[in-house]
Amino acid sequence: MAEATRGFGYWAVALLALIMMIFGLPILAGGVWLITLGGSWYYALAGLGLIASAFFLFRRSMTGVWIYLLTFAGTLVWALWEAGLDGWAQLPRLLAPTIVLVFVLLCIPNLRGRVGVPRGSMAAAALGIIGLGASAMVLTSVQYASTIAQEAPTPGPDAPLPPLPETVVETQYVALETGVDWPAYGGTHAALRYSPLTQITKENVGSLEQIWEFRTGDLPENDEPFGNQNTPVKVGDRLYLCSALNKISALDAATGAEFWTYDPQTPTDAIGYNASCRGLVYFEDTTASAGTLCAARVVNLTHDARMIALDTETGQLCPDFGNGGIVNLLEGIGDTAPGFYAPTSPPTLVRDVLVVGSQVSDGQTREAPSGVIRGYNAVTGDLDWAWDMGRPGEKGLPPEGEVYTPGTPNVWTIASGDDELGLVYLPMGNSAVDYWGGDRSEAENTYSTAIVALDVETGDVAWSYQTVHYDIWDYDLGGQGSLIDFPTPDGPVPAIIMPSKQAQFYILNRATGEPLVNIEERPAPTGGVEPERLSPTQPFVTDFPNLMKPDLTEKDMWGTTPLDQLWCRIQFRQAAYDGVYTPPTVDRPWIQYPGYNGGVDWGGVAIDPEKGIMITNYNDMPNYNQLVPREEVDALGILPITDPNYDAEAGGGSHGSISPQAMSPYGIRVNAGWRVPFTGLLCKQPPYGGIAAIDINTREVLWDRPFGSARKNGPFGLPTMLPIDIGTPNNGGGVITASGLFFIAAATDDILRAIDIETGEEIWQVELPAGGQATPMTYEAGGRQIVVINAGGHDFMETPIGDYFIAYALPAEESQ
């Protein structure tokens, strides 16, 4: 038998065999471990095949090729059985084995036995080429099939209902309308995120061009968490916006030229979760004479808990508002650490009352600042009322020396309001310790993670509806409720549509709180560390589409190679998981799916009231969590933000891997998104985010597809630049126009898109200079329809940080 010389071919075969042995050993060991956990047998068998193939390749024997061909054939059959023709699912199953197959086939000329058995060599090569073709076919078949829900909703009304009527409220208060203007964060305080403008159409949107850019100058100097998410407001010829550190600017809406900027000098140590100013409020005082100072004003909240009112014309403080134009929101809250009580969302204006909530940093201590909701007179800044659920019947400031009830559920996001009914609709958060509730009060258990309607004249609760019972999952309501006239067989009913992090849509009569869809209490998982306190059931909407996906299985685990997919499968088998609402555990991790970032988060939904179409983007990611005993948390030196020795680097900050949850039995370790430690990719297979349209009249999903491309995502934080819709994490919402377009950024690929609302087809895009985790808006100025987006980035979403506001419009000659 001829001996191969020890040239390049000899050493190439030896190197390949060594690599196969290096990977085969942990795959075999991990595969055996997975079997003991009740998982798939494939990895142990594949690892054994790799090792055996490597052994014979070391010996330069054709037997090594045949063993690998057998291993690869088994891999191909197994992969198709588990995941079918889903290209993304097949990536970790087939890509690395296929690459190895190529190199194994290239080794054939350098192996013993090749000269004596040429037919066998040719047969092996032929079989290998067939395997390569089959693998390539599977890997390139990416499925974009729409997944609607875990179980299909029952059909809506048999006959199509008429278009949703657009409610016009006749009141003594200034009526807000979109079109020429965009006078509130959600368009109006009804939050439809809809504009009747039609200048930009499906046919000409491809001609959009940037017409101006404005930069605020607010960028992190060190490692401060920045992530501005501002949606400006536009009234008349002016656009009003706020920066990451709460600077307020007035611009010429047509040109972007700056009229004035007010800098409140917000200190960086006041930043909570991140430096963001989602919006501000425009208000006209109908009792003031036209042209007088502050007859029209903008109101903003700062991270260090000030409410500031400025004259729209000059940018001057309103002297008759609060104390020289400023209201101290820490009054009644008490002394608190910088960044602990840090508003990031605008007030909501209803009947000339500014309704104010605040972000309170999660996971710090049970003795957190109060979640009190307060109503302030929009003219004077005086406190009209306070709703402190721990002090029922008391509407003013706490007695001297006392504070509003600590640790109660807060409203960190944006509320909506109805002037006609005089109600403000609060998307309530959770109590101060998200993942343990053993000492919550009756009021907290009633109003936590609930929609609460308050009478803005009195601050009294008009009605409430809880969307999660005994929430120990951080499933607080993040989206702004949208107010529509909802079609029912008995005619349109004034309603609120509230999206949730579980990707369900709770639709209630907004006057009474009565559900307008069927909501069924279904049994929920039991167990965890406080089984006696868990609710035995949770509410599920059954006759309106949801965007919940099927429960995870081991087959849904992902990675870039078989190794990290195996790692994720082992983690899956080690964790507690009984589907949505699996309770927190301390003895082992548990899987929370969906994770706390959604479903639907603060971007909310957008609704076309003429076509009856609702569009929303959503996340589809799990968390991998575990409670940590108090002694262990203390031993690690993880302290709450209120402790004099607090060190964010030790964990416990807004982005810390372990949060202390002081004054409770447990801290909490959260792996948001369930990421693999060495690659940074997620353990669940794509997509990680989607976008969908629902016909409100027929209660059918029109389309549902992955949202966001892989161009800025990849292993080890490296961008792949692949223009493939993998479906990325996303934050921020979109805006619908009457011409049938939906403008949205939100995804982590830094792209602003225009989407056809009837088909879901993307028909225009532009790359942004920073992350677009903000909701765009549109208006008319100078005879042109203009779309504006804040490209501020997001530290937690790992998109580039910026300070840009960018405007797009058709070329001037096409806008006439």
DSSP per-residue letters across 97-140: HHHHHHHHHHHGGGSBTTTT-HHHHHHHHHHHHHHHHHHHHHHT
d(CA 93, CA 561): 7
* DSSP-derived secondary structure letter, 769: S
Please identify every residue annotated as catalytic. 474
Question: Which residues, including other chains, have CB under 8 Å from residue 11's CB and lie 6 or more apart?
Answer: none
Angle at 510 between CA 507 and CA 514, to 5 degrees: 65
Q: What is the sign, positive or negative, of the torsion defined by CA atoms of 32, 33, 37, 41?
A: negative
Question: Which residues, including other chains, have CB under 8 Å from residue 801's CB and lie 6 or more apart?
Answer: 219, 220, 226, 227, 770, 771, 792, 793, 794, 795
d(CA 749, CA 709): 6
Other C-beta atoms closer than 10 Å to the C-beta of 198 total 12
Tell me the two tokens of residue 394.
């008391």
Measured between alpha carbons, how far is residue 668 from residues 579, 603, 763 in Å? 20, 26, 43
Measured between alpha carbons, how far is residue 263 from residues 165, 293, 549 in Å? 42, 19, 45
Residue 548 contacts residue 149 (beta carbons within 8 Å): yes
Burial call 437-463: b when 16+ CB within 10 Å, e when fewer: beebeebbbbbbbbbbbbbbeebebbb
- Exposure on the CB side of residue 394, measured as CA atoms within 13 A: 15
Question: Which residues, including other chains, have CB under 8 Å from residue 321's CB and lie 6 or more apart?
Answer: 294, 297, 309, 327, 379, 380, 381
The two counts, helices (H) then strands (E), for the chain are 8, 40
Residue 52 contacts residue 103 (beta carbons within 8 Å): no
Closest listed residue to residue 96, CA positions, set 15, 13, 18, 20: 20
d(CA 263, CA 320): 19
Residue 257 contacts residue 294 (beta carbons within 8 Å): no
Residue 306 contacts residue 327 (beta carbons within 8 Å): yes
Closest listed residue to residue 284, CA positions, set 312, 308, 262: 312
Helix (H) or strand (E) holding 45: helix 42-58
Angle at 752 between CA 747 and CA 757, to 5 degrees: 90
Q: Is the peptide bond before 677 cis (omega within 30 degrees of 0)?
A: no
d(CA 596, CA 674): 12
